[in-house]
């Protein structure tokens, strides 16, 4: 049976540690980007909600809510 060389194992472990360090860094960067995307999407949703509220107020003021009810609401299919 072949003898295990401690130096070879040590070098292999160092490479694994280096690769793992790179993976950790990449995951950290991806988390930051995902957080930014989530925040941007939340901002868009807030703006859309605000626009929806404004449109409802306008429809009520102009007494157009009957026409608005007859239309199908926009949404993904």
Tens digits of pLDDT across the chain (77 residues)? 567 789 999 999 999 999 999 999 999 999 999 999 999 999 999 999 999 999 999 988 988 866 555 566 666 75
Could you tell me the pTM of the whole model? 0.58
* Predicted pLDDT of residue 3: 74
Question: Tokens 């049976």 appear where?
Answer: 1
* Predicted pLDDT of residue 36: 97
Q: How far is residue 53's CA from residue 59's CA, in Å, rounded to a whole number?
A: 10
């Amino acid at each position: 049976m072949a003898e295990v060389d401690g130096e070879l194992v040590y070098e292999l472990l160092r490479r694994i540690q280096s690769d793992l360090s790179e993976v950790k860094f990449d995951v950290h960067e991806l988390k930051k980007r995902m957080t930014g995307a989530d925040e941007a999407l939340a901002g868009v949703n807030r703006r859309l909600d605000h626009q929806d509220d404004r449109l409802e107020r306008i429809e009520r003021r102009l007494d157009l809510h009957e026409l608005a009810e007859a239309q199908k609401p926009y949404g993904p299919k």
